[in-house]
Chains A and B, each alone.
Chain A
């Protein structure tokens, strides 16, 4: 165990460099740069709230805020897992030539998505101010569900990255899967509108629980129940352990199939 920790400490600077590189490359040559992470969710929110408050109507108070909070959480998950999925294949040339702990590539993608999440969170706060909705003290609890979200995404990302090395189909398959998952998460609709059987299915999705925790503290000034915390801990950490296990088992064969 101590060998792993030592190794991690040795390569910790690499984590910083990889995250910095991701961010730099993403916004290089764009005039607005990092501002895009703020603008992107805002534009999406405007489009979706125009569409859904005029065409399909949901009875939700402050719908823009509802949809934006859903977007921010879901986009982080989709961005982080998609980035993590291709992180190993994209670093193929590197892995073939230098010894580097391979999980660092996955973690760095999760981190850079997290930095984006911080930016879009600022957008969320701006919208709250602009719509004159009350900011409650419960907002201070929002790091708790976000932590579960990061742990969950890391677990899923580790599994995806390890399998994708062998089966490139996953990249295409997962694209479809994330679209389906978005509709299985109450991002744009309220969960109360669903028929009973579908509601059960949506509640099985770990993201649903995490998202409702975020909305509880952000919008409703309501502190999430201990039960939902326990469920989130179990779901996200089981995913992480599973991810670490799969990744650990597969990592030595990466180089043979990259």
Chain B
């Protein structure tokens, strides 16, 4: 096995059953099954995707809406289990998939730091060490005892970004989260990701802005309707992608 590998995606396909009717209750389900009216529209969000990412690479995923970028990231993050094929990830993963997903809006920012940290697999003690850093980075020190249901969405994403990027994970998964916050904070986020890359973190990056992808990534996976069109050097593919 190649020691230098960070992520290995092998023949991954993902099927969703979009049942034309959804059953939320027994009666309907039983009746429809008896009448053999259950019809599923199969939908393949990913079709036989294979690629490998080396340690230290930063890979951009590009493609139009509905091309399977987020589904692919979710299978790599372990949220979704692929219908066929396998995903192997070597190292710790920090998912930045949808900011604030792990927050409980009734709890205060302070309590949420520990809850969210635990969701990412960090103990209370570890979070205590990062606490100062999180408060500083999110610039929310006056609001730590406020329930976050009273936060603005910008504040929530600042806090979430600060928590998700503590320490130096081996692999960072970023899904279009850089469009949050004001311009200055976005700048700060990019700088932080850059610093992680310098420390050797592997990045998987989804963005609709091809300029952003070009500036951060050295490789690109180009998806179209669940198929992988190309995988390779960022500059070449970015040029080709822009021309279509």
Contacts and interface: CB of A to CB of B under 8 A. Distances in A.
A98 B120 contact: yes
B122 interface: yes
A56 interface: no
Contacts of B23: 167
Contact of A94 (B29, B93, B102): B102
Given A13-B124, A169-B25, A169-B26, A28 B106 contact: yes
Contacts of A17: 114-115, 118, 124
Given A25-B107, A99-B77, A168-B24, A11 B121 contact: yes
A98 B107 contact: no
B103 to A, nearest CB: 9
A96 B79 contact: yes
Contacts of A252: 81
A18 B24 CA distance: 28
B119 A100 contact: yes
Interface string A159-195: 0000000011100000000000000000000000000
B210 interface: no
A104 to B, nearest CB: 10
Contacts of A99: 77-79, 93, 95
Interface in A7-40: 10-14, 16-18, 21, 24-25, 28
B17 A256 contact: yes
Contacts of A94: 101-102, 119
Contact of A167 (B16, B29, B77): B29
Interface residues of A, number: 26
B98 interface: yes
A18 B104 CA distance: 10
A21 B113 CA distance: 12
Given A10-B121, A17-B114, A167-B26, A25 B104 contact: yes
Query: Which residue of B80, B119, B123 has the most chain A CB atoms within 10 A of its CB atom?
Result: B119
A10 to B, nearest CB: 5
Nearest to B27: A169
Interface in B22-64: 23-27, 29
A96 B95 CA distance: 12
B106 A25 contact: yes
Interface string A137-173: 0000000000000000000000000000001110000
B155 interface: no
Contact of B118 (A16, A24, A97, A169): A16
Contact of A21 (B93, B98, B104): B104
B101 A13 contact: no
B16 A256 contact: yes
B166 interface: no
Query: Which residue of A12, A18, A99, A100 has the most chain B CB atoms within 10 A of its CB atom?
Result: A99
B26 A21 contact: no
Contacts of B98: 97
Contacts of B17: 256
Contacts of A95: 79
Interface of B: 16-17, 23-27, 29, 77-81, 93, 95, 97-98, 101-102, 104, 106-107, 111, 114-115, 117-124
The 9 tightest CB contacts between A and B, nearest first, are A99-B78, A97-B101, A14-B118, A17-B118, A13-B123, A13-B118, A169-B25, A252-B81, A10-B121
